[in-house]
Amino acid sequence: MLIDSQPDMVVVSQASDGEKGVQAARETRPDIFLLDLTMPRAGGMTALQAIVRDCPGTRALVLTMHDDPAYVRSALAAGARGYLLKRAVDTELLAAIRAVHRGGIFVDPSLADILVQDLIAKRGGRAASAQAFKILSDRELQVLKLVAQGYTSSQIAKRILVGVKTVETYRSRFAEKLGLRTRSDLIRFALEMGLLKPETLEHEPTP
């Protein structure tokens, strides 16, 4: 009733559960899809992912009772363009719909600080990685990149014309300097610093 009462909005479909919601979105292709995260049958997160995947022109706005930061992060990561709590006043709901329709992102004011803290932490992590990056020698950097790409110590030794033990020494040094304990840590660092492209991980290295 609230949405239909607006001169610039109209409800084109309604659904009682997640599966019907996804079906309705595929059939009507609405500009905005308003959904909860707790729904019968297909859950809200499953429905959200399906709508984002199948209806690229539809922007999803979550309206829910869940104020846990984990839900906010998960919904936005899944493709939601807005996250609003049900306790929000009517004007906030309408403002959220309009903001998302314009192509923006709307997060309930009481939860906005979560995104700010995430951004600060992310920037801080990148800064720390960049600083660590400067303490590597050219050779250590070269070996790090090859290790991240999946080459063995033997293969690396042949490529850079040194002994296997020398490669192991380089690996030990950069691991200690950067605090990298696993290959996953190494890959994450290499991607962050631009030493490795995501598509590189889809292919096996040539011996």
- For 182, other C-beta atoms within 10 Å of its C-beta total 9
pTM over 0.85: no
pLDDT for res 125: 52
| Contact assessment for residue 30 and residue 9, using Cβ atoms and an 8 Å cutoff | no
pLDDT band at 127 (very low <50, low <70, confident <90, very high): low
Q: What is the chain's mean pLDDT, rounded?
A: 80
| Contact assessment for residue 61 and residue 32, using Cβ atoms and an 8 Å cutoff | yes
**What homologous superfamily does CATH list for 18-115?**
Response regulator (3.40.50.2300)
Report how far residue 172's alpha carbon sits from residue 137's, in angstroms, rounded to the nearest whole number: 13
pLDDT for res 139: 87
Which of helix, strand or coil describes residue 45? helix
Report how far residue 28's alpha carbon sits from residue 17's, in angstroms, rounded to the nearest whole number: 16
Can you tell me the mean pLDDT for 167-172? Answer: 90
pLDDT for res 199: 45
Can you tell me the mean pLDDT for 163-190? Answer: 80
C-alpha 40, offset from chain centre: 26
Strands 32-35 and 59-64: parallel
Can you tell me the mean pLDDT for 146-152? Answer: 81
**Domain edges within the chain:** 18-115, 135-195
pLDDT for res 197: 54
Q: Does the domain at residues 135-195 carry the CATH identifier 3.90.320.10?
A: no
Can you tell me the mean pLDDT for 132-160? Answer: 82
pLDDT for res 204: 46
Report how far residue 47's alpha carbon sits from residue 164's, in angstroms, rounded to the nearest whole number: 51
DSSP secondary structure code for residue 64 in this structure: E
pLDDT band at 203 (very low <50, low <70, confident <90, very high): very low
| Contact assessment for residue 100 and residue 59, using Cβ atoms and an 8 Å cutoff | yes
> What is the residue type of 14?
Q
